[in-house]
A and B are shown apart, each in its own frame.
Chain A
Amino acid sequence: MPLISVEDLSFAYRDREVLHEITFPVERGEVLGLVGPNGCGKTTLIRCINGMLSPRRGRVVFDDRDISNMHRREIARAMAYVPQSAGNRTAATVFETVLMGRRPYLNWKVSPADEDKVVEALTLLDLEELALRKVAELSGGERQRVMIARALVQETDAIFLDEPTSNLDLCHQMGVMEILRDLADKKGLAIIIALHDLNLAATYCHRLLVLEGGSIYGCGAPAEVLTEDMLRSVYGIEAVVKRDLPAPYIVPLRPGCLESGV
């Protein structure tokens, strides 16, 4: 049985339908990449899956429970969410920011066990040296690691991330994705990531789900999903998909350059 089942989910902002009859499962230990052009509904889908938005039709089942029957605190103990802008407004120290991840379990007092979990996450993500620095003083890559550490101390079975690598250089993009893939492989977490970089998605995700105009265009292993036809149809671009490496990679072409040979 999958950990998460999205079943026939549709969502609309007032009269405008943004998601249309979306159905897919997510297994434990799987990294699922949500890809698609701007405005295709990636962020909305993540918000629906973790119950921040209520779908117009359909439902999301987490570990055999319909999430519409779960309290916000219960959802926060089941799945962690790292929004795109997370950490931009954080005025606290790294330690306190990660400690906030214990909020679904805390009333007021912080126990030594809570502090242990924070230290464990900081150590795992190599953030010990930065623990007492303010998050606002960190680089983009360090800040993203802090957000992942906070998601980890929520002790959930699933983590959702919205564009966790935007604004990061290539080295830090790979660093963040390595961490996420490791968490899925070693801790069995289900991870859903909305990504723009298709090559990064192909390298690190077990499966990709391609959204186009709020509907699923395709879902499967990167090698099955990333095709020239998909890129033409979904993104409206010409590209060559190279398949001589462990993961497919895309070389986009300028309009008309195939004909001219440039």
Chain B
Amino acid sequence: MEQSISLYEGYARLKRTRAAFMLALIFGLILLIGIAVTLGSADLGVAESYLAILAGLFPGRFSAPELAITIVWDYRLHRVLFAVCAGFGLAVAGSVMQGILRNPLASPFTLGIASAAATGASIAIVLGAGVVGGEYLIIGNAFLFALLAAFAIYGMARYRGVGSETMVLAGIALMYLFSAVTSLLQYVGSSEELQAVVFWMFGSVDKSTWPKLGIVALVLACTVPYLVYRAWDLNALAEGDEVAAGLGVPVERSMTVMMLIASLITAVIICFTGTIGFIGLVAPHITRMIIGSDFRTLLPASGLIGALLLLAADSIARSVLAPQVIPVGIVTAFLGVPFFIYLFLHRRDA
């Protein structure tokens, strides 16, 4: 009897630890948002930034200098929130891909989706060709190519029988194909076009706007709750197709739907940001090392870690060489890799 009580208590403690970790992440993220908003050429304090955010949200209740409100709401907040949403989405997509493909290297980048987006963007930059014209030429191409890659992976897997190995192999094959096309376009492009392609591939949140943030936030709001709701399917799929089927998961349908949702999230983010590959790979690993692999908490927590990582990276990218902005894709690697290696080695020691 005593043993049973301690079993319940042990599991309850595990749940409490996870809840506390999530709360700590949310608190850390709110704090970092306030700090990130202060960064820029106009000098704003943390308290002033929070006041400006609150004054914009509740104009009657809070007041802040007009200039501070303008700086925060017109120039900084959408960028900060875009970094949060992009980091969150890429990490969630990476978690789902690693889970259902049971491959620790699976991410939007390694599965060819980011490479396809880069090819789409390169076609727009170098050839000026695209499905959507005007200012959305590059974005539209990147989005369409990313989805095209996702459907191609699915199509090949469908032909061969949907399974994790076929999806990973199809994704890797596509990654090389699209990388080759992008290289060819870089080879034939002018030096300005080459520079534009390379800069796009670095990845950054420089070009964020409120409407773009709205689109990303809407897609996340529509998809992430569904993924969290299907967390038990993800838990089962992570153990293998046979185990999942034995536990009542319709394997092919679940894998297909969740892969396509993860691809949609990725496509809608990287079409605006360019290639930010590292978050989707590492945030899920970091989260798993800290709070385990239950997708009910893994998904939201790795989203929060991804958001923190990308926002921290963007804040550093903007402040280290200010007023120069380093592409955030470079900083995510500089910031995330040592942290990842530390955790990895630490866990091995334990």
| Chain A interface residues (CB < 8 Å from chain B) | 47, 50, 52, 72-77, 80-83, 85-87, 89-93, 95-96, 100-101, 103-104, 106-108, 115, 119, 122-123, 128, 131-132, 154
Which residues from chain A contact B248 at a C-beta distance below 8 Å?
A: 72-77, 103-104
- Give the residue of B8, B236, B249, B250 whose beta carbon is less than 8 angstroms from that of A115: B8
In the complex, identify which listed stretch (B31-39, B86-94, B138-146, B288-296) lies at the interface while the others stay far away. Answer: B288-296
* Cβ–Cβ < 8 Å partners of A108 in chain B: 228-229, 231-232, 296
Which chain A positions have C-beta within 8 A of B10?
A: 95, 131-132
Q: A89-B238, A103-B236 are in contact. Are A83 and B247 (CB under 8 A)?
A: no
B11 at the interface (CB under 8 A from A): yes
Query: CA of A100 to CA of B235 in the docked complex: distance in angstroms?
Result: 8
Pick from A80, A89, A93, A131: contact of B240, CB under 8 Å = A89
B245 proximal to A (CB < 8 A): yes
A70–chain B nearest beta-carbon distance, Å: 10
In the bound assembly, the distance between CA atoms of A7 and B230 in angstroms comes to 36
Residues of chain A within 8 A (CB-CB) of B288 are 91
Give bound CA distance, A207 to B100, whole Å. Answer: 38
Shortest beta-carbon distance, B143 to chain A, in Å?
31
Q: Which of the residues A80, A82, A93, A104 comes within 8 Å of B14, measured between beta carbons? A: A93
Q: Taking the nearest CB of chain B, how far is it from the CB of A25, in angstroms?
A: 22
Select which of A82, A104, A122 is within 8 A of B7 by beta carbon. A122
Cα separation A154 to B14 with both chains bound (whole Å): 23
Q: Closest CB-CB distance, B295 to chain A, in whole Å?
A: 10
Given the known interface contacts A89-B102, A128-B3, the answer about A83 and B293 at a Cβ–Cβ threshold of 8 Å is no
Interface residues in B62-85 by Cβ distance below 8 A to A read none
CB-based contact A85/B245 at 8 Å: no
Residues of A within 8 A of B240 (CB): 83, 85-86, 89
Are A72 and B238 in contact, CB atoms less than 8 angstroms apart?
A: no
Known A-B contacts: A80-B246, A103-B249. Give 9 more (CB < 8 A).
Answer: A72-B250, A74-B248, A86-B243, A87-B239, A89-B239, A103-B248, A108-B229, A123-B4, A131-B11
Do the beta carbons of B293 and A76 come within 8 Å of each other?
A: no
Q: List 16 A-B contacts (CB under 8 A).
A: A74-B248, A77-B248, A86-B243, A87-B239, A89-B240, A92-B294, A96-B294, A103-B233, A104-B248, A108-B296, A119-B4, A119-B7, A123-B3, A128-B4, A131-B7, A132-B14
Within the complex, what minimum Cβ distance (angstroms) separates A148 from chain B?
A: 13
Binary contact track B10-23/A, C-beta < 8 Å → 1, others 0:
11001000000000
Nearest residue, chain A, Cβ from B244: A103
Residues of B within 8 A of A104 (CB): 247-248
Which residues of chain B are near A85, meaning CB under 8 Å?
240, 242
Given the complex, which residues of A lie within 8 Å of B293, measured CB to CB?
91-92
Residue of A with least CB distance to B240: A89
Name the distance in Å between A105's Cβ and chain B's nearest Cβ: 9
Residue contact B242 to A52, C-beta cutoff 8 Å: yes
Within the complex, the shortest CB–CB distance from B7 to chain A, in Å, comes to: 5
**Pick the contact of B246 from A81, A92, A107, A122 — CB < 8 Å?**
A81
What is the predominant secondary structure among interface residues of chain B facing chain A? helix
Contacts of A82 in B (CB 8 A): 246
Cβ of A76 and Cβ of B292 under 8 Å apart? no
- CB neighbours (8 Å) of B102 from chain A are 89
Docked complex Cα distance between A52 and B229 (Å): 24
* Closest Cβ–Cβ distance, residue B30 to chain A (whole Å): 26
With beta carbons under 8 angstroms apart, the residue of B228, B233, B246, B249 that contacts A83 is B246
CA distance A89 to B233 in the complex (A): 15
Interface centre among B4, B7, B10, B229 (most CB of A within 10 A): B7
A77 CB contacts on chain B under 8 angstroms: 248
10 A-B pairs with the lowest CB-CB distances in the bound complex, closest first: A76-B248, A81-B246, A73-B248, A104-B248, A83-B242, A91-B293, A103-B247, A132-B10, A103-B232, A128-B3
A12 nearest CB across to chain B (Å): 15
Q: Do residues A76 and B232 form an inter-chain contact, with CB atoms below 8 A?
A: no
Least Cβ distance of A136 to chain B in Å?
10
Instruction: Check if A91 sits within 8 Å of B232, measured CB to CB.
Output: no
Q: A89-B240, A96-B292, A103-B236 given as contacts; is B246 within 8 A of A76 (CB)?
A: yes
Which chain B residue shows the least CB distance to A154?
Answer: B247
For A154, list chain B residues within 8 Å (CB).
247
A86 nearest CB neighbor, chain B only: B243
Q: Which listed residue, A47, A76, A92, A132, touches B247 by the CB 8 Å rule?
A: A76
What are the residues of chain B within 8 A of A96 when measuring CB–CB?
235, 292, 294
Q: How far is the CA of A47 from the CA of B242 in the complex (A)?
A: 9
Give Cα A15 to B236, complex, Å. Answer: 31
Closest-CB distance, A116 to chain B (whole angstroms)? 9
> Which of chain A's residues has its CB closest to B296's CB?
A108
Q: Which residues of A contact B233 (CB under 8 A)?
A: 103
* Closest residue of A by beta carbon distance from B288: A91
Cα–Cα, bound, A123→B6 (Å) = 12
List B residues 216-273 near A (Cβ within 8 Å): 228-229, 231-233, 235-236, 238-240, 242-243, 245-250
CB distance from B151 to the nearest CB of A (A): 25
Is B3 a contact of A50 with CB atoms below 8 Å? no
- Shortest Cβ distance from B97 into chain A, in angstroms? 15
